[in-house]
C-alpha cells in the first residue's frame, strides 16, 4: 500500500491547487537535476541518476494582520549504481515538503512536513538535530520532519521558537535510533541579540527504542533530553560556538548516559580577488555516565575555503579530519550559476570505510568525481 504520509501529501497538493483561482498568489516551481559519478574504494563504482522536485505554493490574506500560505513538493528520483556486476536501480517518489503557514509581521506558525534547522556552526554542527544538510552538497538536500513550529519576534529582536514533532520514525540529524513515531517530541529555542552578535538556548525531548546485542539481546525504551547553547559575534573576524548536552535514561534499568558535543569556530573574508572566504571549526564529541565525567571522546576539525571567480563561477574546497581514526576527508568543487541553470563538478578523497551517515564527517567511500546539472523553473 502507498505510504500514508505520501497520500496526505498528495491530498495537500489537491487542496492547494484548486485554491489558486481565488488566492492572492500562486506559484509552481520545479528543480530537475541529473548526475554522473565514479569512485573507487575496494572496487570501481559508477553512479548515475535523475531527480525532479516539483513545488506548488499558494498564499492568500486572512485579515489586515495575518496571511496564510501553503507549500507542497515531492522528491522523485531514479538512481543506478554499478560495480562489476549488474547495476542496482532504485526509483522512489516521496514527500519532500508539505505545510500550511499562518504568519504576521511578528509571528509565524507552520504545520506539516518542513525543514527545521538552527545554530551558529556551518561544518561541524552539534545542533544538527533535525536535518542532514551536507555542506559538500551544492543542492543542500535534506528530508524534512513532521510537526508544528511556531516563532514569535519581539520588538527588541528577541525571538522565541516552540515546536512539537510527531510522526517521525526515521533517524534525523545525529540520531542513531529514530523516535517513537506517535510520541510527541516537544522543544523550544530563544535567541537574544547582543552587541555585535547573538546567543541562543535550545531544548528538545524525545522517546525512542534502543536495541542491544551484548551482554544479551534486549529492546528497551529510552527518554532523551537535549540542551544546546550557541552564539556568534562579528568582531572583524566572525566567532562562533555551539555546545550540546544530551541525557538518555533507560526505562528498564534506569541507567543514565550523557552525550556531549562542543564546536568553536571562526570565519573571515580576505580581500583577495572577489573575496576569499575561510571557515574553520573544531569539534569535541563523546559520551559518559556523568555529565562532566570521563568517557569516550572524538575530535574533528574542518576547514572550508571558497573563492568566487567573477559573478558566475565559484571554487570551494572542504577538508574534514577525524583525529581519533586519523582519517582525512577532502572535497574540491567548481560551480557555475546562470539564470536557471547550475553546473557543478566535484572531486572527493575519503577513507575506503568512512563514518556512518549522520556523523559530521560522513561522506562517500574512497576517491571519486561527480558532475551534476540542475535546471530551475
Query: What's the pLDDT tens digit per position in 61-109?
Result: 888 899 999 999 999 999 999 887 778 899 999 999 999 999 999 999 9
Other beta carbons within 10 angstroms of residue 335's beta carbon come to 19
Please say if the pLDDT value at position 31 is more than 70. yes
The values of phi and psi at residue 14, to 5°, are: -65, -30
- pLDDT-derived band of residue 334, with 50, 70 and 90 as boundaries? very high
More confident: 359 or 240: 240
Query: What's the pLDDT tens digit per position in 175-199?
Result: 989 999 999 999 999 999 999 999 9
Q: What DSSP assignment string belongs to 54-103?
A: EEEEEEEE-SSS-EEEEEEEEEEEEEEEESSSSPEEEEEEEEEEEEEEEE
Domains of the chain: 1-90 (no CATH), 115-376 (2.40.160)
Hunting for cell 526505562 — which residue is that? 251
Please say if the pLDDT value at position 315 is more than 90. yes
- pLDDT-derived band of residue 246, with 50, 70 and 90 as boundaries? very high
What is d(CA 50, CA 90) in angstroms, rounded to the nearest whole number?
11
Contact 328, 308 (CB under 8 A): no
What is d(CA 112, CA 106) in angstroms, rounded to the nearest whole number?
20
Which residue from 371, 321, 310 is spatially nearest to 349, judged by alpha carbons?
A: 321
For the question of whether the overall pTM of this predicted structure is more than 0.95, the answer is no
Q: Spell 144-169 as b/e; 16+ CB within 10 A means b.
A: bbbbbbbbeeeeeeebebebebebbe
Amino acid at each position: 500500500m502507498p505510504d500514508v504520509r505520501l497520500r496526505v501529501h498528495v491530498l495537500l497538493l489537491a487542496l492547494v491547487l484548486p485554491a489558486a483561482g481565488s488566492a492572492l498568489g500562486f506559484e509552481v516551481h520545479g528543480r530537475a537535476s541529473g548526475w554522473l559519478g565514479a569512485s573507487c574504494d575496494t572496487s570501481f563504482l559508477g553512479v548515475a541518476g535523475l531527480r525532479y522536485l516539483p513545488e506548488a505554493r499558494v498564499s492568500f490574506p486572512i485579515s489586515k494582520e495575518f496571511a496564510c500560505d501553503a507549500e507542497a513538493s515531492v522528491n522523485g528520483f531514479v538512481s543506478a549504481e554499478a560495480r562489476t556486476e549488474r547495476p542496482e536501480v532504485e526509483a522512489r517518489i516521496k514527500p519532500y515538503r508539505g505545510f500550511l503557514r499562518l504568519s504576521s509581521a511578528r509571528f509565524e506558525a507552520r504545520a506539516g512536513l518542513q525543514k527545521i534547522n538552527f545554530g551558529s556552526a556551518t561544518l561541524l554542527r552539534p545542533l544538527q538535530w533535525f536535518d542532514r544538510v551536507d555542506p559538500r552538497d551544492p543542492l543542500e538536500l535534506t528530508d524534512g520532519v513532521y510537526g508544528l513550529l511556531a516563532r514569535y519576534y519581539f520588538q527588541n529582536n528577541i525571538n522565541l521558537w516552540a515546536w512539537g514533532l510527531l510522526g517521525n520514525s526515521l533517524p534525523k540529524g545525529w540520531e542513531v535510533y529514530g523516535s517513537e513515531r506517535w510520541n510527541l517530541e516537544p522543544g523550544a529555542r530563544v535567541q537574544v541579540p547582543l552587541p555585535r552578535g547573538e546567543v541562543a538556548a535550545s531544548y528538545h525531548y524525545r522517546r525512542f527504542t534502543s536495541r542491544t546485542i551484548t551482554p544479551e539481546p534486549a529492546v528497551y525504551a529510552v527518554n532523551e533530553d537535549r540542551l544546546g547553547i550557541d552564539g556568534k559575534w562579528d568582531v572583524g573576524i566572525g566567532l562562533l560556538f555551539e555546545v550540546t548536552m544530551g541525557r538518555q535514561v533507560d526505562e528498564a534499568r534506569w541507567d543514565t548516559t550523557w552525550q556531549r558535543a562542543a564546536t568553536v569556530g571562526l570565519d573571515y573574508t580576505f580581500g583577495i580577488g572577489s573575496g576569499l572566504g575561510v571557515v574553520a571549526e573544531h569539534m569535541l564529541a563523546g559520551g559518559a555516565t556523568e555529565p562532566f565525567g570521563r568517557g569516550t571522546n572524538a575530535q574533528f576539525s574542518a576547514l572550508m575555503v571558497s573563492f568566487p571567480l567573477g559573478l558566475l563561477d565559484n571554487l570551494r574546497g572542504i577538508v574534514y579530519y577525524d583525529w581519533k581514526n586519523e582519517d582525512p576527508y577532502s572535497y574540491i568543487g567548481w560551480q557555475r550559476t546562470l539564470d536557471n541553470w547550475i553546473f557543478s563538478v566535484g572531486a572527493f578523497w575519503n577513507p575506503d570505510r568512512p563514518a556512518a551517515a549522520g556523523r559530521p564527517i560522513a561522506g562517500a567511500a574512497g576517491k571519486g568525481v561527480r558532475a551534476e546539472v540542475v535546471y530551475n523553473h
